Structure 1
Amino acid sequence: MYTKTILLITSMRPTQWPKNIVVFTAFFFSINEGWNFTDSSDVFIKFIQVVIVFLFFCFLSGALYILNDIKDVDFDRNHPLKRFRPIADKQISKNLGIIFSSSIILLLVCISYVMNRDLAYCLLVYSIITLLYSFTLKKIVILDVFIIAVGFVIRVIAGAIILGVPISIWLYLCTGLGALILAFSKRRVELILGGDQSLEYRSVFKYYSLRMIDYFIWLVSASLVLSYSIYSYSASNLPDNRFMLITIPLAIFGIFRFLFLLRNGKVKVQPEDIFFRDKILLLTIVIWVTTSISILYLYRG
């Protein structure tokens, strides 16, 4: 029983859970108007609420990973790395995986419904589009990447819902564009590593080429820079003194640094890992976050 539990948790891919940290977006960017600093318990309660949503998405995405592995089990058994996954390696039966993951999804939706009805809708929509992606949409060129980006935006929306704070539409757009860059980067790395055998792992690769993916990445990156610049200047929840414009050079440098690492083969199959492996990029992110929070706190309304 203990072994099966460990294998089920492994199948939920906990190494992918840090992606769900985007649910904290609304928490940090609402400092200027959503936090009540006269009541320390208010900030703590908001933080706990977002942590709960973060955990919800960790377990939900994990359960959906299991269903995806069940769907792709035949392909995974021919993959040099994925064939070692518990379901592909027949360490866990398909029936056990279906029962376990379905129970988690149902439980999370029910609990979230009690907490906040709109939050439950977010979890439900996220589950539906992820399942559609696993069974059909990942075979449709470009749409496969857009669905991944939508999943990140839903996480941000969920974080805003549980806090009851509005955030700028430009911040949602920045989230989606950032996710598109990561998704296209993942496709790029997979295409390079897979070579002529790429089609055996993803049928959609017959429509992609490195030149096309590079073009998309540069186009989306330019759109992200523009969107973040507009957000920093025009978002209604930011300080009126426009000091958030100071963070634009940091954001641009971070994006360019990522693109540099991508072109030089430093970005791996999980592109987001580079944020922790590259010291310069990590330092840039830390400075950007610290600067943004400081501006929002010091010049809050």
Structure 2
Amino acid sequence: MKQILGLFEIFRLRQQIKNFLVIVPFLFSLNLWYSNNELGQYLLIFSSVVGGVLIFSLASWAVYLLNDVIDADMDLIHESKKNRPIARGTVSKNYALVMSLFLIIGVPILAFFLSTGFCVCIAIYLLMNIFYSLLLKQIVIIDVITVALGFVIRALSGVFILRDSGVEVLSNLQVSPWFYLCTGFAALFIVLMKRHGELEGSEQTFVTRPTLRMYSSNLLLSLINISCSATIITYSLYTVSGKFGWEVNVPSDNSMIITVPLVIIGIFRYMYLCFEEKKGESPEKIITSDIFLIIVILIWLITSIFILLLR
């Protein structure tokens, strides 16, 4: 029983918030499917997207299990990570490894029934993270880029799920390439802020994350500034990409550009919390606990959906 409870602890519920990125394409295509006024269609699309989030959560669980097995000995040295179920001995390495392998095999199969494109995304995500756990996390720069790519795959997964949802109006859904670039740079910004927080934190972190020694504070600050600027630029270009003549689901009247200040405020608030309040090590805690940031995100989301519905 303790092992089963330990497995669910490794699920890391709070960190699963990142998988809600799968829903973003669903929300930003609201104007396409909402207008048909068919309850059955709404339920079909919503159930497909929720299924995608759940399947991606299982994929993340498989990665966490594998990573914790590999890092168990190093986690024992860390002040907080030593309390992880595998490190403290609640869950055996063999038990966790078997569960991880079961999920790695089973999750793509579940994804296939939802969407073939989604299945490919899940397979790439799992393969990439297996390599990350075994090798890539030990290579400076490549480690943070790999983590950021995982967020892009989540966004792309949401698009494939919508295209294969069985709803005709979404079968040829076109998404601006600036959306994927913005997602990647925003994820990279968050990952780099986390590395900076770890660098400024406990010395024990250097043991559990050896590549951290290869980063200096100056290097991370430079990379943070680049990724922050790139996030704002690519999001701004995303909001006006309908004006380029592309067949993308963005208003051609540039009305989405009014959401840019909200994105900038959100980024600046996040930077404040990381630099001044030293919370950068736990992005999921920042996003789920800071009331100011939550309000900004909600206003951005509501404003964006309202603009799309009036399109």
Alignment match, 1:119: 118
Which consecutive segments of 4 or more residues in structure 1 shift more than 4 A? none
On the 8 A contact 2:185/2:230 being kept in 1, the answer is yes
Q: Counterpart in 1 of 2:272?
A: 260
Distance 1:298 1:270 in 2: 37
- 5+ unaligned residues in a row in structure 2: which ranges? 164-172, 243-247
- The letter for the 2-side match of 1:280 is F
Q: Does 1:189 align with 2:197?
A: yes
- Measured against aligned partners, the alpha-carbon deviations of 1:189-227 in whole angstroms (never above 9, x if no partner) come to 1111124x4431211012101111111111111111110
The structure 1 residue matched to 2:241, chosen from 226, 234, 242, is 234
Query: Which of 294, 298, 304 matches 1:292?
Result: 304
Aligned counterpart, 1:216: 223
Residue in structure 2 matched with residue 203 of structure 1 by the alignment: 210
Give yes or no for contact 1:37–1:43 (8 Å, CA) kept in 2: no
Q: Confirm or deny that 1:171 pairs with 2:183.
A: no
- Partners of 2:78 and 2:205 within 8 A in 1: no
Query: Partner residue of 2:80?
Result: 81
SS in 2 for 1:194: coil
User: 1:54 aligns to what SS in structure 2?
Assistant: helix
Give 2:111's aligned amino acid.
S
Q: For the Cα contact (< 8 Å) 2:240–2:251, is it kept in 1?
A: no
CA separation in 1, counterparts of 2:215 and 2:88?
A: 29
Q: What is the TM-score of this pair, normalised by structure 2?
A: 0.91
Residue 266 of structure 1 deviates from its aligned partner by 4.2
Whole-Å separation in 2 of the counterparts to 1:198 and 1:295: 44
Deviation of 1:34 after TM superposition, in Å, equals 4.6
Name the structure 2 match of 1:25. Answer: 24
Q: Paired residue for 1:70?
A: 69
> Is 1:154 the equivalent of 2:153?
yes
Report the AA paired with residue 159 of structure 1: G
C-alpha contact 1:233 1:244 (8 A) present in aligned 2: yes
Quick one: distance in 1 between partners of 2:240 and 2:114?
35
Q: CA RMSD in A?
A: 1.4
Mapped partners of 2:199, 2:239: distance in 1: 35
Q: Within 5 A, what are the aligned runs for 1:11-22?
A: 11-22=10-21
* Counterpart among 284, 288, 302 of residue 272 in structure 1: 284
Cα distance in 2 for partners of 1:21, 1:114 equals 20
Would the aligned equivalents of 1:36 and 1:42 in 2 still touch at CA under 8 Å?
no
| 1:51-80 Cα deviation digits (max 9, x unpaired) | 001000111101110110111111011111
Asked if structure 2 preserves the Cα contact closer than 8 Å seen for 1:14 and 1:62, the reply is no
Inter-partner Cα distance in structure 1 for 2:12 and 2:290: 23
Residue 183 of structure 1 aligns to a residue in which SS?
A: helix
> What per-residue deviation string (whole Å, max 9, x for no partner) do you get for residues 5-31 of structure 1?
111111222221111010011101112
Aligned-partner SS, 1:269 = coil
Q: Which residue of 1 aligns with 2:129?
A: 130
Matching residue of 1:59: 58
| More displaced stretch, 110-119 vs 79-88 | 110-119
Q: Which amino acid aligns with 2:107?
A: L
- In structure 2, distance between residues paired with 1:220 and 1:153: 15
Q: Is the 8 A contact 1:149 1:176 kept in 2?
A: yes
Deviations 1:248-283 (A, max 9, x none): 111111111111222203424212321232222111
Equivalent position SS for 2:140: coil
Would the aligned equivalents of 1:32 and 1:239 in 2 still touch at CA under 8 Å? no
Structure 1 unmatched runs, 5+ = none
